[in-house]
Structure 1
Amino acid sequence: MMGARTVMQEALFYSFSLEDHVPQSHLLRAVDHFVDLSGIREKLRPFYSETGRPSIDPELMIRMLLIGYCLGIRSERRLCEEVHLNLAYRWFCRLGLDGAVPDHSTFSKNRHGRFRDSDLLREVFEMTVTRCIEEGLVGGEGFAVDASLIKADANRQRGVPGEDGLPPNIVNHAAREYLEVLDEAAFGAASPATPKYLSPADPAARWTSAHGGQAFFAYSTNYLIDLENAVIVDVEATTAIRPAEVTAQRTMIDRTQERFGIWPQRLAADTGYGDAANIAWLVHERGIEPHIPIFDHARRRTGSFQRDEFRYDHQHDLYVCPGSKELLPRRRNFAALRGDVDQDGFIRYRASKHDCEACALKPQCCPGQPNRIVPRSIHEGARDLARDLAKTDAYLTSRRERKKVEMLFAHLKRILKLDRLRLRGPNGAKDEFLLAATAQNLRKLAKLIPMPAAPALA
C-alpha cells in the first residue's frame, strides 16, 4: 500500500558531522591528504595591511580554487554556489555547516594583487611537485616536453590588423600586460614577425591556425613532465608560436634543476624542438641526451643522393662525395675575409663545377644544378649525436613514453574542461595553467598513492 506523505519536521537539535558524510572514496578526500597550505599565511603576511577589517582567509580561497580546477568547475561564481551547497566541498574547505562562502569577486581582487605579487600559485604548484618527489613518483632520469594551444577569451571576429597596432582608446589590464611583455622571449620577442591580427580584448594572445581549421587567438601551455609517472615538474605560459615554446623548454629545465635539484639524462620531444641550436644547447650546455627527431632542411625529395651519403672529413673540414670528389666551404681566397656561416647557422660545402660536369653520377647527385652543395650546421656534432641516439632502443622507448604528455593535454581539455581560458592577459594565462597543472598533479597523487586506512570505530 502507499506510504504516508513525507513531511519535513524541524528538529530542535541536530547531531551532524561533515566527516561522516564525505565518502572515503571521494576524490577530494584523497586530494586533501596531499594538500599542505600551512605556510601560505606567513608568505602572504607582507602583502596585507596591519590595520583595517579582517580579510578572507587565503587558504580558504586556494582550497576553493583547487576544487574548481580538480573538478572542472570553470566559473568562480558557480564555484561559490557549489561550495555553499555541497557537503564534500565544505569539508575540504574547512567551512563546517555554517561557514560563510566568500563572494566570487574576492578571487579577482586577490588574483590581481596578493596572489600575483607573491607568486603564490607557483609555490602551490611546486608544493605538489615536492610531494610527488617525496612519494617516489618522480624518477628524474627521463623528461618529456610539449606545448598545447589553449583558446584565449577573445572573439576572433573582433581582431584588428596587426600592422595597425592596438587602437589608442584600448585601456584594460590585458593591454597593459601586453605592453609589459613585448620584450620577453616567451611573448613579444619570440618572433620579429608582426601578428596578422591583434585582439583588443587580449593583445598578447596570438592569432594562429596551427590546428588546420579556423584561425583563433590562443596561448600555449608548456609542460615538462617526468616520464616515470607523467608527473608535471614544470609549466610555463607562452605566446602560441614554436620559438616561444622552445624558449619555455629551456626555462623549465633550468628552473627544475634550480628548485628541485633534478637534472634529466634524456629529453623526449617532437620535431618542433629538433632545430640545431636547441639540440646543441641540450648536448653541449646541459649534457642531456636529445631523444628528438632532427629537423633537417637538407633532406632531398628528388631521389638524388642524400647528405648522409657524403662523408665528412673532420681533419681537413671537407666532404667527400660518392664519386670521391671533395666539397669545400670555399673555392677561392678573397682579399676581404668572408665568413663561411650564413644567417641560419649553416656552412655550405660546394663541389667543383668542373668535377660535377665530368662525373657519371651527376644524374643521381645534382641533376638540376651545375654542382652539388651540402649544407652543414655549426651544431652538426650535436645533430650527429641525436641521429645516433635515434638508432637505439632507449630512443624508441622515449618516443613511446612521450605520448604521456599528450595524454595530459587531453585530460586538461576534456576532463578539467580547460579548452578555453577564462582569464585574460599573460598573467591570467599563467594563473590558469599553474592551477590546472596543480590539479593534475594532485589527482595523480590521489590515484597512485593509497589512502591511509580509516580509524576503526569503537
Structure 2
Amino acid sequence: MIGSRTRDQLEFFVCGSLRELVPDDHILARVDPVLDLGWLRAEVADLYAPGVGRPGIDPEAAVRLMLAGFLLGVVHDRRLMREAQVNLAIRWFAGFGLNERLPDHSSLTRIRQRWGAERFRRIFERTVQDCVTAGIAKGEIVHVDASLIRADVSWDSLVVRHVEAVRSANDDAKLEAEAIRHTRNSKKTGKFKKVCPTDLDARMATNGRNRRLEPSYKQHGVVDDVFGVVLEVEVTTGETNEGEELLARLDAAEKTTGVKIETVTADAGYAYAKIYGGLERREIAAIIPAKTEPIRSPVPMRRFRYDAKHDVLKCPRGKKLKAGRAVKHGRFFTSRARDCRRCDLAHLCLSKGRVNKAVVLGDDYPALLRARRRREKWSDEDRDLYQRHRWRSEGYHGEAKTWHGLARAVRRGLQNMRIQAFLTAAAVNLKRLAAALNAGLAAVLAVAGKFCAILVQLQPEIGRVRTQA
C-alpha cells in the first residue's frame, strides 16, 4: 500500500531543546563543547555605552553566528542569515530559539566595524591557547607558508596606472618618488601595471610566472607539526614578499603559545640570507632548501671566497676585495684596480668600462653559505619533516580555501580580509580540537569496554573466591 502524508504541519508547541534535533556528528554539535566564549563580553564591554540605546546583540551569539558560517562554508552574511532562518543547527549553536527573530545581516557588519580586527585576532589566539592546553599543539616544530587570496573585485574595475600623468599633475614629493619608483616598462611592474580603485588595499600579484596577475591579498600562516593547529596567521597585500613576514610571524606564534620554536620548515621561496641569519639569531633550526646560486656571469659569485673572521672577500685568483659603503641589506666589496689590471680573468670578470671588481654581499651572507652546506647533509628525519610541510602547511591553506570560503575575499579592505582570515583559522582550530576530543573519548570508551569484557570473563572466578571465603 502506498503511504501518504499531508504537508500542513500545524505544530502547537515543541517540547525539548533544539539540540535533540541536531545529529551528534554534525560539525556544530562537535565544536560546541570545545568553544568557550565566556570571556568575550568583558573584552568588548568598553565599546558599548551601558544604559544607552537599544539592547545590542549578545557578543557571544554574534561570534557564534560568524563561526557557524565559516565552519559550514557559508561566509557571506546575507546567505548565512537566510540559512539560519531554516537551519536548526545554526539556531541552536548561536542560542536562538525556534520562534526567535534573528539579527539582520547588517548587524554583523556593524559589529565587525565596531570591534576591529584585533579583537577577532584575540578570538583566534584563544583557540590556539586552548589547543596548547589540550596538548594537541606543541609549538616546537612549525611549518610556514603563504598563499594568495583573490580580492572581491571584478576585472572591469581594474585600471592602468598612468605614472606620467600623475607625475605631471601633482607636485607632491611623495607622489614624485612613487612615480619614479614605478617607471619601469614591465607589464607586471611599473606604469603598465593595473590597480583597482574599488579596493585600494588589493594588489596585483601572481603565484606563477605563467599565470596572469590578479588583485589579491596574501595570507601568511604558521602551522604546528603535531595536529596541524594554526598557531599564527596574518594578511598583507598581495605584493608583500613572504620572506618579509616569516620572522615576525614566528615571534608572534611564540608569544601566543609561550613555547620556544625549535625547528621551522618552509619552501624555497623563503631561502634568503636574512631569513637564515634571523633564524640563527633566534636559535631556530631551518629546514628550508637553499637555492643554488644563479649563474649570470662567466665568473659567478660562488667562485669568490668570503672570510668572515677578517671580513674580506677573495676573488678566484686570491686577491682581496675590501668592504666599502653600505647599501640596503648589505655592503659593497671592491678590489684594487692594479690587481684587476694584471688578472687573466679581467676580460670575463669585469663589466664594460670598469677597471675594478665591485660586488654586494648581504649582511647575513655567511648564514646563507652555512645553509647551503647544511642542505647537502640533510638527514632522513629532515627530509621527512620537509615532506610533512607539504600536507601540514599547504594542506591548511587548501582546506581553508576549499571548505571555509578563503579562496576569495568576502569583503573589501585589508582589515576585513584580516577578520576573515582570523575567523577561518579559528574555525579550523576548533575542528582540530573537537576531533582530538572525540578521539580521546573514543579511546577512553575502548579501554573501558576492554576492562568490562575482562570483568565479565573473571566474574565466575570472583564468585568462586567469594564462596570459598
TM-score range, shorter chain: 0.7 to 0.9
Q: Normalized per residue, which structure has more helix?
A: 2
| Cα distance in 1 for residues equivalent to 2:164 and 2:405 | 32
1:326 aligns with one of 304, 314, 318: 318
State whether structure 2 residue 265 is matched by structure 1 residue 278: no
Matches within 5 A, 1:378-457: 378-390=363-375, 391-393=377-379, 394-403=381-390, 404-450=392-438, 452=441
One-letter code aligned to 1:158:
S
Q: Where do 1:145-184 residues align within 5 Å?
A: 145-163=144-162
- Equivalent residue for 1:110? 111
Contact 1:31 1:446 in 2 (8 A): yes
Corresponding residue for residue 450 of structure 2: none
Q: Which digits, 9 at most, give the CA deviation of each residue in 1:57-115, with x for residues without a partner?
A: 111110010011111102211111211211111221122322221111101111111x2
Q: Secondary structure at the match of 2:92?
A: helix
> Could you say which residue in structure 2 is the equivalent of 1:172?
none
Q: State the distance in 1 between where 2:64 and 2:382 align.
A: 41
RMSD (Å), alpha carbons: 3.4
What corresponds to 2:2 in structure 1?
Answer: 2
TM-score (norm 2): 0.78
- Quote the Cα distance in structure 2 between the aligned partners of 1:68 and 1:9: 28
Contact 1:218-1:240 at 8 Å conserved across structures? yes
2:93 match: 92
TM-fit CA distance, 1:311:
4.9
SS in 2 for 1:402: helix
Q: Answer yes or no: is 1:232 the counterpart of 2:248.
A: no
Deviation at 1:17, TM superposition (A): 3.2
Aligned partners of 1:329 and 1:347 also within 8 Å: no
The structure-2 alpha-carbon separation of the partners of 1:56 and 1:414, relative to structure 1 and needing over 3 Å to count, comes to same
SS in 1 for 2:139: coil
Listed as ranges, the matches of 1:24-423 within 5 Å are: 24-50=24-50, 51-113=52-114, 115-116=115-116, 119-163=118-162, 196-211=193-208, 212-243=210-241, 245-284=242-281, 286-295=282-291, 298-300=293-295, 307-308=301-302, 311-318=305-312, 325-330=317-322, 339=324, 341-343=326-328, 345-348=330-333, 352-353=339-340, 356-357=343-344, 376-390=361-375, 391-393=377-379, 394-403=381-390, 404-423=392-411
Say if 1:371 and 1:85 are closer, same or farther in 2 by CA, change over 3 A.
Answer: same
The 3 A distance-change label for structure 1 pair 326 and 417 is same
Preserved CA contact (<8 Å) 2:329 2:363: no
SS, match of residue 404 in structure 2: coil
Tell me the amino acid that sits aligned with residue 430 of structure 1: R
Report whether the alignment pairs 1:21 with 2:21: yes
Q: What is the distance in 2 between the residues matched to 1:249 and 1:90?
A: 40
CA deviation vs aligned residue, 1:40-59 (integer Å, no higher than 9, x gap): 11111111112122111111
Aligned-residue identity in percent: 30
CA distance in 1, matches of 2:165, 2:229: 40
CA distance 1:387–1:24, change in 2 (3 Å): same
The alignment covers a number of residue pairs equal to 413
Alpha-carbon distance between aligned partners in 1 of 2:332 and 2:101, rounded to the nearest angstrom: 69
Q: In 1, Cα distance between the equivalents of 2:351 and 2:42?
A: 72
- Cα distance change, pair 354–400 in 1 and its aligned pair in 2 (3 A): same
Q: Which moved more, 1:408-417 or 1:11-20?
A: 11-20
Instruction: Tell me if the contact between 1:329 and 1:340 (Cα under 8 Å) persists in the aligned partners.
Output: no
Taking structure 1 as reference, are residues 258 and 417 closer, same or farther at Cα in structure 2, changes over 3 Å only? Answer: closer
Q: Give the conservation status (yes or no) of the 8 Å contact 2:139–2:259.
A: yes
Equivalent-residue separation in structure 2 for 1:309 and 1:10 (angstroms)? 86
- Aligned CA distance change for structure 1 residues 91 and 348 (closer, same or farther; 3 Å): same
- Secondary structure in 2 aligned to 1:153? coil
Change over 3 Å in CA distance of 1:139–1:321 after alignment to 2? same
> What TM-score results when the alignment is normalised by the length of structure 1?
0.80
Report the CA distance between 1:373 and its aligned residue: 7.7
TM-superposed CA distance for 1:155, in Å, is 1.9
Q: Which runs of 5+ in 1 are unaligned?
A: 168-181, 183-191, 331-337
- 1:405 to partner: Cα distance: 1.0
Q: Does the CA-based 8 Å contact 2:231-2:253 persist in structure 1?
A: yes
- Residue 346 of structure 1 and its aligned partner are, at CA, apart by 4.7
Query: Cα distance 1:283–1:103, how it changes in 2: closer, same or farther (>3 A)?
Result: same
Identify the residue that residue 462 of structure 2 maps to in structure 1.
none
- With 124-133 and 75-84 compared, the bigger mean Cα shift is at 75-84
1:225-248 CA-to-partner distances (Å, cap 9, x unmatched) read 1122221111101011243x3333
Deviation at 1:38, TM superposition (A): 0.5
